[in-house]
Amino acid sequence: MSGGTLSIDVHLTTDDLRSALVEDVRNGLSAEPKWLAPVWFYDDRGSGLFDAITRLPEYYLTRAEKRLLEAHSHEIASLASADTLVELGAGTCEKSRVLLDAMREDGSLRRYVPLDVSDGTLWEAANSIAKEYPGLTVHAVVGDFLRHVDRVPAEGRRMVAFLGSTIGNLDPAQRGVFLSELSRVLSEGDSLLLGTDLVKDPRRLVAAYDDTAGLTAAFNRNVLLVLNHELHATFDALLFDHVAVWVPDENWIEMRLRSCEEQTVDIEDLEMHVRFARDEEMRTEISAKFTAQGVESELSAAGFEVQSMWEDEEGFLLTLATRRARLDTELH
């Protein structure tokens, strides 16, 4: 039996990515306090490090979400009644297979739409899916889910999967904008499957972002190596300590890099000279944690109605919500 069909839309080029990197670095390293966006962790080395992190005993998020998907995929497929699975931040598409299998067994599966910023990884993964699922239409989209969610094909009844608690990397204002934009481009009856990590003992949370093997520290410092490679910066990664802290007022973990000494870093391509004081901290990621009530509130504000929630024993939540019917005022 022949495999599925495969096509790819590219809305994000190498030049686009470089422009975004330049803008983020100019803005972030000129700010007070300094920051860098977490998207720049993920070159080939960073992606490999993160894959290793997901297998650590301290990093419960991936295994907890996988358990939930495996336990409830058929119920999710039945409730969503979707023929199209859209996955935002698809990566290697590994999580998709559990949902694709359930939708295929349910008899509804017609189309798979993975979206990711990495065209090479996405093409390889999408091609593999197309070969594994005979008759499936695979329509890959190279794009940024914050900028290109409106480019996702509109065919069929869609279930959008946004997993891994990636939404936690956005602050509340960014989450509101993203969810509202997603709601705007979905049709009534389309659904969203959202993975979120829940608030729990801060010691458990910090351990997940500061493992004893030091992999998260290497992952955090990798952003400096990316800047060295892409922008000819002069960061010495060993002169920055990895820091992970729980910020209770914001209900999020912050990852930071702390300068071990007073130093100046040159960024040749941007003609920038960035001074760091001793013990100065630069934020590289937030990872927000949620409550079930908070998730429902944020989804409702964006036009979604929760159908069901499933919570893992390690404190991870899957939520399936449908796009409500639009009011007349929304249509004009």
Q: Encode pLDDT of 311-321 as tens digits.
A: 999 999 999 99
Tokens of 27: 């803005």
Does 146 score more than 50 pLDDT? yes
Mean residue pLDDT of the chain comes to: 94
Residue 182 has pLDDT above 90, yes or no: yes
User: pTM of the full predicted structure?
Assistant: 0.94
Percentage with pLDDT > 70 across the chain:
97
Architecture per CATH, 5-10+61-201+292-331: 3-Layer(aba) Sandwich (3.40)
* 68 secondary structure, DSSP code: H
117 neighbors 143 (Cβ within 8 angstroms): yes
Domain parsing of the chain, residue ranges: 5-10+61-201+292-331, 36-57+204-288
Mean pLDDT for 275-289 is 98
The span from the CA of 130 to the CA of 71, in Å, is: 25
β strands within the chain, DSSP E: 5-10, 84-88, 111-116, 137-142, 158-162, 191-197, 240-247, 252-259, 263-267, 272-276, 281-288, 304-311, 316-323
Q: Assess contact for 146 and 14: CB atoms under 8 A.
A: no
Report the pLDDT value the prediction gives residue 90, as an integer from 0 to 100. Answer: 87
Q: Is a pLDDT exceeding 70 seen at residue 330?
A: no
The answer to whether residue 210 scores a pLDDT higher than 70 is yes
Average pLDDT over residues 160-187: 96
Cβ neighbours, 10 Å, residue 134: 11
**Angle, alpha carbons 26-30-33 (nearest 5°):** 130
